[in-house]
Chains A and B, each alone.
Chain A
Amino acid sequence: MAVTLPPFQSLLDEHAADLHRFLAASVGPHDGADCFQETVISALRAYPGLQHADNLRGWLFTIAHHKVVDHARRAARRAIPVAEPPEVGTSDPDGLADAELWGAVRELPPKQRTAVVQRYLLDRPYAEVAAVIGCTEAAARQNVRAGLQRLRAELPQEVRS
């Protein structure tokens, strides 16, 4: 029996804002916009062939996660470790700390990056983090933990306090 899929528009209405937040946080605002467009296009391409409509949000973010993985691969090939410029005036110490933190997030391995951003920025439960990455819930927890450890280790003390 054919599965009943809602109009793609309803996915955009419900998830586009979070999708954009996820991608902008994961790869930066500029590349985030590109990844957002690629995610929408890939999702539209695959949508009519979906076999079930159980977790469309998870499906959509899995595609977005793959875009983050692709982006990380391309960035590694370019191998010029230039962080995106801070997004706020550097005279603002909070802004500077934020810029350093999110710069560090964007240097995390993609699975840890997705796990941390899904878990904390988007406030998703571990089960959903796992669905997005395509791993077990235990592995999702492990990715969040490892990502946090790395962020704490890499950030200078004064940024963390």
Chain B
Amino acid sequence: MTGDDDDVVARLRRGPAGPARTAPRVPSNGRAPDPPGPEDELDALVAAALARADADDLVDVAWAVQDSPIGPLTLAATGEGLVRVGFGGEDRVLDELATEVSPRVVRLPARLDDLRHQLDEYFAGRRRQFEVPLDRRLSHGYRRRVLEVLSEVPYGETVSYKDLATRTGNPGASRAVGSAMATNPIPIVVPCHRVLRSGGALGGYGGGVDVKVWLLRLEGALAL
């Protein structure tokens, strides 16, 4: 291999000098942000490519992570509307969307600007209702019906699982209502935090009971 290890090969391995040399990406680990460098250039390039792809209607699911007082939220929208809100980071949510909706899932925050703005207002106590189109394709059958009825429960009010079952015309279905809440693909916007146990016990919540309490206090539905 002597012929392979000459200076030409060594230079080829080093790569072109100057701006074209991009370091391999290292996952961020909470350090202070680095000065603008090749990674920012790459991010800008990827974002430009995805904006063009979006204009060509090639993005089936656009996602973004939004910081909020209850932690990061992963938001995802199809061409029809908001399809998923996930508590925490995006990893699990993106896999689910790739399988259930389309593998053409890419980060495209601009498609979620409207919702992000409305969420900021909601968390600041300046919005009581979300005005974004919803894509309910991730819920089916009776669960979907329950979540549609739930969308009519207004800000600041709560209902019991049993109430909600009754409102769907199926008073014996509290248990099915419970599983509809547990699998709500669009929490916060479809307000499953407003559903409590009969007698006022909190019941569970996908984002954790602490988050449920926080949201109910924000809405004034729970005394301090």
Interface residues of A (CB under 8 A from B): 4-10, 12-13, 16-18, 20-21, 24-25, 28-29, 32-33, 36-37, 40-41, 44-45, 47-48, 87-88, 94-95, 97-99, 101-102, 105, 116-117, 120-121, 123, 148, 151-152, 155, 160-161
The answer on a CB contact under 8 Å between B46 and A12 is yes
The total number of A-B Cβ pairs within 8 Å is 131
**Among A17, A44, A45, A101, which residue has its beta carbon within 8 angstroms of that of B11?**
A101
The contact string, 1 if C-beta is below 8 Å from chain A, for chain B 78-104, is: 000000000000000011011100111
Q: Which 7 A-B pairs have the closest CB atoms?
A: A87-B18, A7-B105, A120-B12, A5-B103, A40-B49, A24-B20, A7-B98
Query: Which chain A positions have C-beta within 8 A of B35?
Result: none
What secondary structure prevails in chain B residues at the interface with A?
helix
Question: 8 Å CB contacts to A: which residues of B24-61?
Answer: 24-25, 39, 42, 45-46, 48-50, 52-53, 56, 58-61
Instruction: Given A5-B98, A24-B16, A37-B52, verify A12-B106 contact (CB < 8 Å).
Output: yes
Chain A, residue nearest B43 (CB): A16
The answer on a CB contact under 8 Å between B53 and A98 is no
Say yes or no: is B161 at the interface (Cβ < 8 Å to chain A): no
Sample of 12 A–B contacts (CB below 8 Å): A8-B104, A9-B106, A25-B16, A29-B20, A32-B20, A37-B45, A44-B104, A48-B104, A98-B16, A99-B17, A152-B6, A160-B8
The answer on a CB contact under 8 Å between B8 and A6 is no
A90 to chain B: closest CB distance in Å?
12
A113 to chain B: closest CB distance in Å?
11
The answer on a CB contact under 8 Å between B20 and A9 is no
Query: Which chain B positions have C-beta within 8 A of A48?
Result: 60, 102-104
**Among A33, A40, A98, which residue has its beta carbon within 8 angstroms of that of B17?**
A98
A132 to chain B: closest CB distance in Å?
16
What 12 additional pairs, Cβ within 8 angstroms, besides A7-B105, A101-B8?
Answer: A6-B95, A7-B103, A9-B107, A20-B42, A21-B21, A33-B45, A36-B45, A37-B48, A37-B49, A87-B19, A120-B12, A121-B12
B contact residues, total (Cβ < 8 Å)? 46
Bound-complex Cα distance A159 to B11 (A): 10
Interface residues of B (CB under 8 A from A): 4, 6-9, 11-25, 39, 42, 45-46, 48-50, 52-53, 56, 58-61, 63, 94-95, 97-99, 102-107
Bound-complex Cα distance A7 to B56 (A): 19
What secondary structure prevails in chain A residues at the interface with B?
helix
Bound-complex Cα distance A95 to B21 (A): 13
B201 to chain A: closest CB distance in Å?
38
Query: Which chain A positions have C-beta within 8 A of B94?
Result: 7, 9-10
The answer on a CB contact under 8 Å between A160 and B12 is no
Bound-complex Cα distance A128 to B63 (A): 32
The answer on a CB contact under 8 Å between A40 and B16 is no
A48 to chain B: closest CB distance in Å?
6
The answer on a CB contact under 8 Å between A16 and B42 is yes
The answer on a CB contact under 8 Å between B58 and A160 is no
